[in-house]
Structure 1
Amino acid sequence: MSQITNPIRYPDVGSTHTMTKRAWWLVALNVALPGSVQVLAGNRRLGRFGLGATLTFIALAAVTVAAYVLWPEVVLTVFTNNVGLWAAALALAFYGVVWLMLTLDTLRLVRLVRAAPGARPVIAVLTTAVMLFVVGGAGYGAYVATTASGFLSDVFVAGPTEPPVNGRYNVLLMGGDAGADRNGLRPDSISVVSVDATTGQATTISLPRNLQDAPFSDGSALGALYPEGYGAIDGCDTDACQLNSVFTEAELKRAFLYPDATAQGRSPGIQATIEAAQGITGLTIQYFVLIDMQGFSDLIDALGGIDITVQNRVPVHTDDTFTKVLFWFEPGPQHMDGYHALWFARSRHGTSDYDRMQRQTQMQEALLAQANPANVLTKFQAVAEAGTQVVKTDVPQGMLGYFVNLASKTKTFPVTAVPLIPENGVDPENPDYAAIKVLIDAALAPATAAPSQ
C-alpha cells in the first residue's frame, strides 16, 4: 500500500469498514500509549511531546515502585513531605492536562463521521468515559496530595528528630476529655506505646488515670514540688491528686514552670504528664499524641462508623452527668457512628475505670481497622478536616516515613498489653512503682529460653 493510501494518516481514502477499524485502533492506542496516535496520524511534534510525557510518567512510576520494594522508608519519607507531595500533585496535574489534550485530539483524528453509524456513539462514549476516568483520577490524586500536605503541616511539627532509646521509640498516647463539667481538658485515658525500632513489635502500657502518688522523671519541674510523688505529702493543687490531674495542674496553675513547652510543640500539661509517665514506667518518652475524644466523633463519622464487638452491656446516657441511662448497648457486634462510639468509650454508669480503659483501647483498634487506605482515600476531605481537629502531636513530619514503615512491621506482630490494673497486681491507690517497672521491663525484654545442652 502506498503512503497516500494509508488510512491511518490519510483517512479520507478508506471505506466505512476500514474507517471504523481505524477509529478503534486509534482509541486503543491512545489508552495504551498516549501520544502514539499523534505520531501515526496527526501532529508528530505533539505526538513526540505526548510520548515523552507518557514514557517519563511510566518510568517515574516504575522507579517509585522499585524503590518502595527496596527502600520503603525512603519513598514514604518523600510522600509524607510537603515538597514531595506538591511535586506529586504537579506531576499528576500536568499529566492529566496532557492526557486530556491528547484524547481530545484523538477524537478529532478518529473522524467519527466516517465510521459506521452504529459504532459512532459507542466510540465517542467509551473514549469520553476513559478520558474522564484518567483525567479525573489524576485531578483527584493532585487534590489528595495538596490536601495531605496541608493536613500534615497542620498536625505535625517541623522539629528535630529523636533517636531511639535502648532500641525503642516510646510515645505517650492521651485521650483528652474536655467535658462541660471540667475546668479545662483532662486526659481521660493515658498509655505509653513502646515500639521496637528495628522489628516494629509494639507494647501498650495502659496507665490508669486514678494512679496516685505518681513519681516524676529526674529534672521534672513539677516533680521538684512533689519529690515523694504527686500529692503524696501535703496534697496537690487540684481537686483530685491522681495521674490525670497532673495535666490540669501544670496547664492551669503551674504553666510558669514550663516556659519552653510551647516552643517545643507541647504545652505545660503535656510536658508534665510526659514527666509523670516517664517516672512511672522508667522509659524515655520521645513523642506524644493527644487525641480529642470529642473530635473523635467527627473522625469516626467521616470514616463511615466503626465496628465493635460489645463484650458486656454498656449504657448510653442522656447527658454529661453520666447517671441517667437512655439505652444500653447489648453484647455482640455493633456498628457505631461517632456519637455512639464516644458514649461507648466514655460510659461510666455501673462500670469501672478499668472497663473504660479496655473499651477505649477497643475503640482505638476499631478506628485503626476502619482507617484503611481505600476508605481514607474515598473520604479524604472529610477525614482530613476531622483529623486536624482530633490530633495534636510533636512527632516531626520528617519522621513520618520512618514511622509509617515501622507501623507496617508492627501489624505483623500481636500487640503486647501491660495494663496497670488490680488484675495485673497493681493497686492504683497504693501503687508499688518499683514492682510496676519490673512488670514493664519483663514485657519489653522477656526472658529467653535457656539453650539446650
Structure 2
Amino acid sequence: MEFRRGATSLADPEIFTPRLRRRRAWTLVLLTLVAPGSAQIAAGNRALGRFALRTAVLVVALALLAGIIYLVSPGFLLGIVAAPWFLGALVAAFVLGAVFWAYLFLDAMRLARLSRVGAGTRRLVALVTVLCMVLTSGTLLTGAWLTWAGRTAVRTVFDAQDSRGPVEGRYNILLIGSDGGSDRVGVRTDTLMLASVDAATGRSALFGFARDTENIDFRPGSTMHRLMPEGWNCGDQCLLNGIYQWGSEHADQFPKDVKNPGAEATKEAVEALSGLDIQYYAMVDLVGFRRFVDAVGGLDLVVGRRTPMGGGTSRISGWIEPGEQHMDGYHALWYARSREGASNYDRMARQKCVMTAMLHQLNPQTVVLRAQDIAAVSGSVLETDVPSGDLGRLGSLAMKARDGEMTTVNFTPPLIQPWRYDPQRIHDIVAKTIAGDPDPTGAKASASASGAGSPKPRASTGRSTRGSGKATSSSADEGTDYAFSVSDSAGLICAVP
C-alpha cells in the first residue's frame, strides 16, 4: 500500500496517498450503505459502529424469521402485523432507523475527511452520500408513513370487541352492499351475501339473498324475535333490504352493547333465512365505494350486457359497453346502481360482481402502494364488527378460501320466489351446500327426471373446480376462466377476470 512515512493510525487519512484517500472516502460511504456501522468500526467510534452493525444484523434476522413464519403460519404473522400496537411500534422503529442511518452517513462523510481530497471527488462523494441517505432513510420514512396509514385504517374500520370462534367448524360472515344515496331515504341494503367458510380447510360457500325477500320469521331468542314475534311480515312494505333502516330507527330497543342495530337486525334476518349463526358482518357503502375504487386504481370487470348510466328520473348520460372493462369509481358505481332496463336480480348480480372484484383485486401489493389513499377513504366505505385481533386468523382463512373450492347459491327466481317460499327448503339447501352436496338445489335431479338436458340450467347455483379458487354462479358456461361470474338463461351478466 502507499502510505506516508510517520503515519501512526489507519484511521488517519494522512497515512494514505491522495489516490488512496479518494478510495478511502468512497469505501466509508459505501460501507455505510451495505453494512451500517462498518465505517465507524474502521475509522471512528467503534462502540457506535458495533451497535449499528448488530442492529442491522438483527433487523435482517427478524425479516428472515418473519418470512419463515409467513410460510409456516401466515395467520399468526398477520395477527401480529395487524395489531395497532405493533403497527405503532413499527412506525417508531422506521423513524428512529431513518434518523440513525442518516446520522451514520453524515458521520461517515466526516470520517472521510473530504477536505483532504480533490474538489471534484469531494463534490461527487457528497452527492452520492445525499443520494444514499434519500435511498435508505427516505425508504424507511416512506415505510413509516404507509404503516401509519395502515394503522389508521385498522383503528378506524375494525372493532375492538372480543373475537368470536367458529360455529360448528365454520366462520359465517355477512357481506352487505348498502346504498344510501342522496335520492334515497335512509340506508337500503340492496346486496346481501353470506360467506360460510370451513375454519380448517378454507372450503367456502357463498349464498345470495334477494333484496325483496319477504315473510321473515326470526329465530326464537333473538332480539328481532323479541321485537317482532310475528316476524317481518307486512307484504311489500317489509322487504329484507328494509330491515337495516328499521333497526337504525329503533336503536333504543336493542341491547346497549349493539353498536349498529341496523346491521344486527339484518344479521338476525339472514340467520333466520339461512339457519346459520353469523359471527361478523362487513358492509360496503356503494356511494363511498366510488372514492375507494379510485383509491385502489380502478376495478377490472367483464361486462356481459350494455348498461346505461342514468335512467329513471335522470337522463341517460352514457353507456358501459360489453366486454373487458377497467372502471374508475364513477363508472363502477353506475354499473352497480343502474336500474334502467334491468330487473332487481340483474342489479344484484352486477353489485355482487363489483364487490367480488374488489375482494379479488385488493392484493398486498395494491394495499402497500396505495395505503395512504385507501386509509383516507376506508372509514367512509367499509364498516364491520370484525375485531382487529381476528384479522390474522380471518386473513389466513381468506387465503385458503381463495385457493380452495367455493360453491355459490343465489336464492332468487327461479330457485325460489322471494315473496313466497318454504324457509325449510332454504335451510336444507344451505346445509347440503356446506356439506359438499354436488347438487344442493336438486336442479340436476329434476332435469334428469324431466328428460331435460339443457346445457344452460336455470338453477341459481354454481360450483368451482377443487383447488382452482374460481366459482361460477347461476348458469355460466362450462369451462369459463373467470374468477367469478354471474349468468342467467339470457347469457353472461358480468364476471370478474
Question: TM-score of the superposition, structure 2-length normalised?
Answer: 0.82
Q: Is the 8 A contact 2:302 2:323 kept in 1?
A: yes
Q: Is the 8 A contact 1:213 1:228 kept in 2?
A: no
Structure 1 runs (4+) deviating above 4 angstroms are: 1-8, 113-122, 224-229
Q: How far off its partner does 1:422 sit?
A: 1.5
How far apart in 1 are the matches of 2:229 and 2:435?
A: 29
Paired position in structure 2 for 1:157:
159
Q: How far off its partner does 1:190 sit?
A: 0.8
How far apart in 2 are the matches of 1:170 and 1:118?
A: 68
Q: Is the 8 A contact 1:222 1:257 kept in 2?
A: no
* Matches for 1:149-298 after TM superposition, within 5 Å: 149-224=151-226, 226-227=228-229, 229-231=231-233, 235=234, 240-252=237-249, 254-260=250-256, 263-265=257-259, 267-298=260-291
Alpha carbons of 1:70 and 1:6: their partners in 2 closer, same or farther (altered >3 Å)?
A: farther
> Which of the numbers 137, 140, 146 marks the counterpart of 2:139?
137
Q: Is the 8 A contact 1:170 1:194 kept in 2?
A: yes
Q: Is the 8 A contact 1:178 1:186 kept in 2?
A: yes
Pair 1:336-2:306 in alignment: no
Q: Is the 8 A contact 2:258 2:264 kept in 1?
A: no
How far apart in 2 are the matches of 1:373 and 1:128?
A: 31
Q: Is the 8 A contact 2:195 2:205 kept in 1?
A: yes
* Matches for 1:21-420 after TM superposition, within 5 Å: 21-115=23-117, 119-224=121-226, 226-227=228-229, 229-231=231-233, 235=234, 240-252=237-249, 254-260=250-256, 263-265=257-259, 267-317=260-310, 321=312, 324-420=315-411
Q: Which secondary structure does the structure 1 equivalent of 2:237 belong to? A: coil
Alpha carbons of 1:333 and 1:122: their partners in 2 closer, same or farther (altered >3 Å)?
A: farther
User: Where in structure 2 are there 5+ consecutive unaligned residues?
Assistant: 440-497
One-letter identity of the residue aligned with 1:428 = P
Q: How far off its partner does 1:448 sit?
A: 8.4
Aligned-pair identity (%): 37
Q: Is the 8 A contact 2:191 2:352 kept in 1?
A: no
User: Where in structure 1 are there 5+ consecutive unaligned residues?
Assistant: none
Paired position in structure 1 for 2:469:
none
**RCO comparison, higher one (Cα < 8 Å, 6+):** 1
Q: How many residues align?
A: 437
Q: Which secondary structure does the structure 1 equivalent of 2:284 belong to? A: strand
Structure 1 stretch displaced more, 216-225 or 174-183: 216-225
Q: Which secondary structure does the structure 2 equivalent of 1:107 belong to? A: helix
One-letter identity of the residue aligned with 1:439 = I
How far apart in 1 are the matches of 2:118 and 2:218?
A: 83
Question: TM-score of the superposition, structure 1-length normalised?
Answer: 0.90
Structure 1, residues 305-326: CA drift from partner, whole Å, max 9, x if none? 21222111111016xx455322
* Matches for 1:423-438 after TM superposition, within 5 Å: 423=414, 425-438=415-428
Q: How far off its partner does 1:436 sit?
A: 1.4
Structure 1, residues 237-259: CA drift from partner, whole Å, max 9, x if none? xx62211112222222x334313
Q: Which secondary structure does the structure 2 equivalent of 1:328 belong to? A: strand
Q: How far off its partner does 1:418 sit?
A: 1.1
How far apart in 1 are the matches of 2:9 and 2:303?
A: 69
Q: How far off its partner does 1:332 sit?
A: 1.0
Q: Which secondary structure does the structure 2 equivalent of 1:416 belong to? A: strand
Q: How far off its partner does 1:220 sit?
A: 2.8
Q: Which secondary structure does the structure 2 equivalent of 1:215 belong to? A: coil
One-letter identity of the residue aligned with 1:436 = I
Q: How far off its partner does 1:212 sit?
A: 1.4
Q: Which secondary structure does the structure 1 equivalent of 2:325 belong to? A: strand
> Which of the numbers 427, 441, 444 marks the counterpart of 2:434?
444
Q: How far off its partner does 1:17 sit?
A: 2.4
One-letter identity of the residue aligned with 1:375 = T
